[in-house]
């Protein structure tokens, strides 16, 4: 694999939560915790390909645990100040936030934003649908933009060591993969 796959720094915004309400079932907690661990395994694997890459985590949640438009924009501003070149925003929303779209448009030459389509059949999915976001997805009914990545499947097979092969599935993984390819 190309050791210069990434040039510069990368920042990852995750929407996956580590903590759950006490009323949630243990099974749901275990499933979500496994998904977080899987996501980090995928990142670890990809970032082994480039010694110069830095991975950052920015929590866009407010005090109530909700991801806000202001939180995302604050994170993006932090990235620009710290010379981050690419960002994966691992979240999806049906509401179009004009301030976020404007920020991404104004900074399109400074930072590349990647996201995934988590929808089906062309329903609203932001920030993936924003004009200057590099989005990835698998559904053939989505009207992909010219800069988007359309995959046949959201399954990624990776080798960990010589004997361990793992299968990861999910559009958030595709978004990270697309970021690495670009």
Give the pLDDT score at 25. 41
Total residue count of the chain as it appears in this document: 182
Q: How confident is the model at residue 164 (pLDDT cuts 50, 70, 90)?
A: low
Domain ranges of the chain: 9-181
d(CA 138, CA 88): 17
pLDDT at 126: 80
Place of tokens 């050791």: 3
Assign domain 9-181 to a CATH class: alpha beta
Token readout for 168 is 């990861």
pLDDT at 45 over 70: no
Q: Residues 117-135: pLDDT tens digits? A: 876 655 677 888 889 998 8
Work out the average pLDDT over 66-88: 87
Q: Tell me which DSSP letter residue 167 carries.
A: E
Residue spans of beta strands (DSSP E) within the chain = 9-14, 55-58, 84-90, 112-116, 133-137, 149-150, 155-160, 164-169
pLDDT confidence of residue 159: 57
Task: Give which of 182, 166, 177, 138 is closest to 38, Cα–Cα.
Answer: 166
pLDDT, average across residues 134-152: 77
C-alpha atoms less than 13 angstroms from C-alpha of 101 in its C-beta half-sphere: 12
Please give the residue that has the higher pLDDT: either 117 or 47: 117
């Amino acid at each position: 694999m190309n050791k210069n796959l990434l040039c510069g720094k990368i920042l990852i915004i995750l929407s996956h939560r580590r903590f759950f309400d006490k009323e949630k079932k243990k099974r749901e907690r275990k499933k979500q915790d496994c998904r977080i661990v899987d996501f980090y395994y995928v990142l670890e694997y990809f970032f082994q390909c480039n010694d110069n890459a830095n991975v950052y985590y920015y929590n866009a949640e407010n005090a109530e645990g909700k991801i806000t438009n202001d939180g995302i924009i604050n994170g993006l501003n932090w990235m620009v100040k710290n010379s981050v070149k690419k960002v994966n925003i691992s979240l999806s929303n049906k509401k179009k936030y004009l301030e976020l779209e404007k920020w991404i448009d104004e900074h399109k030459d400074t930072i590349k934003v990647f996201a995934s389509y988590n929808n089906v059949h062309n329903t609203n999915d932001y920030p993936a649908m924003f004009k200057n976001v590099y989005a990835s997805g698998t559904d053939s009914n989505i009207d992909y933009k010219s800069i988007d990545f359309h995959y046949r499947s959201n399954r990624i097979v990776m080798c960990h060591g010589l004997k361990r092969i793992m299968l990861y599935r999910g559009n958030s993984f595709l978004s990270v993969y697309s970021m690495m390819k670009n």
